[in-house]
Amino acid sequence: MRIPLGDATDRSGHLPPGATLLAVAVAVVLSAGDPDPGTRRADALALALGLAEAAGLDRRGADQAAVLATIAEAPSELAAAVHAGSPVEAAAELSAALSVPARLTMPPAPACLAAVAWSLAGARRRGDTLSESLTAVDASPGVLADRIATWWEDQPTSPAPLYEITAIERRLRSRGESGRRLRSLTALTRAIGSPGSLDDVLEITAEEARSAVGAASLSISRFEPEHGHLRTIVNVGALAPWEERRPTDECYPLDAYPQGASRLLDGVVHIASDSDADEAETALLRRLGKGSSVAVPIEADGAAWGEVYATTEIGSPPFTSADVPFLSAIAGVISLAVSHTQHVDRLTRFADEDPLTRIANRRVLERQLQVLLEEGAAGDTEVGLLMLDVDGLKDVNDEWGHPEGDALLVRVADVLSRVAMTRSGAWPARLGGDEFCIAMLGSDGVEDLVNRLRVRLADGPPPQPRLSAGFAAVRPGSAPVSELLRRADAAQYLAKRTGAPLVAVGPDSDIPDAASVTPATPRSERRGQGRARGTAAGPALRRWRASTDGGSLVERLEALGDAAVNLLDLNRWTLSTHAPGTTTIHIRSLHLRRRRPNPQLSSLVADEVYDLAAYPATEAALRDGIGFSLHVDDAATDPQERALLSEYGVDYVIAVPARDGAGTGLLLELYGDDDSLPLAEARALVEALGSRTLRRELRCSGLDERG
């Protein structure tokens, strides 16, 4: 006889401890022996965790939902074995939890989310439609349905869930090691004062850290941005046959580990196992003969200095998120050790480093170019130099202030470093002022490299920098370093004059004249040439498409706003409401993509109220349900609306009106500036997207076109 769920759980919807641990044991057995290998179980586990997070469950509830999702269809013979060999009460609780129907309820219990996750994982693998599957689990529009839709479209096929389930088991079973770890941190702190060089201190620290964390091996490596790699300083513990305790040439180029490079620069801890999706990380673990690893960035003086890399033996419990706080504390202690001893070589470093951006300066660049010319001569390979100028830096300093201008230069240097890491042999530097460059062997793929630079720079907060790019290449022995610098600088200056995205000069080519270069684009296009339109359009379009299938009118309009902002590179959107019988309209929600710092310009806040009588075009659109568009320079349109555009510092607006079932008027307004797509092109796309959003034809005429 099955026990009802309400009797099988406590008031918070959690399973009692006995039933929880029994569920974990069953999940481990099923996942370990699943020849599939557990793909449906892995998808169900991932979705259950996502739903638990969206529903606001605590960590214990989220873990229980994830485990139950992997055993929702346990074979009958295993269920019988569970009942026969387990405490009756725990087995009954687990049996009751597995019998819960797949229905979304609020507030949800872990077992309910588990049943929904298992059901949807199966539906997705059968090829069922999303709308049918949501109906089957009674998923009305809301946070949980949105999370399911995102997983349905974006979640890749997951690896077998055994590793994740083992990690959950470790979280559910408290390790109680806080006292021992605190004593270890104290010993680490004492190691800072040990006599000897920095390498000696790091060796002592590594031994203490390995013992404290229970790792099989532990390494400390130094980040050398001028070479684009991590250089290992010390390895301790059970090492692979090819590893040395104090290696002299153990380096890991970051272009071979792109995910690790990004995490290092972002200061993010990374845990990997031998089933990790990152092939480079998996291959490294196999070379080391280890089962899992954790990489913890080390920062010194506010910049990436290196990392701690610890491993576990194959078959031992892998590292989990429960280890992260202690490992981060260890990295902090090592940071203190670095700061304590680093002053010895600080003057030498300053001689080679740009003090603002912390990348190489011109002195080191010229030295490196000479090395590349010598290396290129050995392989008869061209040496190239990409010269980059940050356009409009003076405008940023004048409008935003010099601290913001300095921050922009630091951001450009950071992006240059990240992109250069993905190309073997590429070497970034700052020449001075607003000029940067990347030295490299060969000239293939330069246009793609410039495009990636612009995409990364556009995908950030304002002010967003724009680049003029020139490239030159020479053959080794044919020209000195000074000639390569001159040719690259001339190409960059020509790009700046003409507005061309890139001017490239080969080793046998003369610097072209302006007439032979691709003509400059119109002002509205040129100011945005560095911006990558639609870099976030994919997810925004998927959210918009999902909202049109079942979202509320407000959700559909907000999703339309997000899609349009990304596709058209708009400045912002606002969604306003007008209650029946009132004379005002207020901003309900907004998305501001580019904020102007001038305090004289309104930045728009939610709930800002406007009198409709002062804006007849808006009043007419809400009354008649007909959209409109207008440009700030069009004298034939409503002067009040144009004055508002001037106040906001934008060029045009496209308005999309609608009315909900209660009679409340809604107005989505899409604002473009001189970095956005021109009004005529933007309006055509908004009309197409808006017609599907509103499920009726939408036309947003210019005000002078409305009879």
Characterise 389 by phi-psi region: left (phi > 0), alpha (psi -120 to 50), beta (else): beta
pTM of the model: 0.38
d(CA 35, CA 26): 16
464: nearest Cα among 683, 674, 686:
674
Residue 387's pLDDT is 94
Q: State how far the alpha carbon of 540 is from the alpha carbons of 153, 325, 464, 595, 677, in Å.
A: 12, 34, 21, 20, 17
Nearest in space to 383 (alpha carbons), one of 399, 370, 401, 365: 370
So what's the pLDDT on residue 606?
A: 45
- Residue-wise pLDDT for 230-247, tens only, equals 899 999 999 999 999 999
Measured between alpha carbons, how far is 490 from 379 in angstroms, rounded to an integer? 27
Q: What is the mean pLDDT of each run of 10 residues along the chain (707 residues)?
A: 35 66 76 66 85 78 86 64 58 78 77 86 84 78 78 66 72 50 55 63 83 88 85 93 91 81 80 72 88 87 85 84 77 75 52 79 87 76 92 79 87 88 83 91 87 80 82 87 91 86 85 60 36 50 77 88 84 88 86 52 54 86 90 83 82 92 91 85 87 85 56
pLDDT in tens, 550-606: 778 988 898 888 888 878 888 888 899 998 888 888 888 877 765 544 333 334 444
Return d(Cα 48, Cα 144) in angstroms, integer.
11
Which pLDDT score, from 0 to 100, does residue 239 have? 92
Per-residue confidence (pLDDT) for residue 666, from 0 to 100: 93
Closest of 683, 660, 653 to residue 555, by C-alpha: 660
Can you tell me the distance from the alpha carbon of 410 to that of 108, in angstroms, rounded to the nearest whole number? 46
Q: Residue 307: what pLDDT?
A: 92
Residue whose pair of structure tokens reads 């990348």 in the numeric block: 359
d(CA 67, CA 20): 9
- CA 424, distance to chain mean position in Å, is 24
pLDDT in the model for residue 198: 73
Q: How far apart are CA 706 and CA 702, in angstroms?
A: 7
Q: Is the dihedral of CA 606, 607, 613, 614 positive or negative?
A: negative
Task: Output the pLDDT for position 304.
Answer: 83
Q: For the chain, what's the residue count? A: 707
How much is the pLDDT for 603?
41
Containing H/E element for 221? strand 217-224
Residue 84 phi/psi, 5-degree rounding, is -75, -35
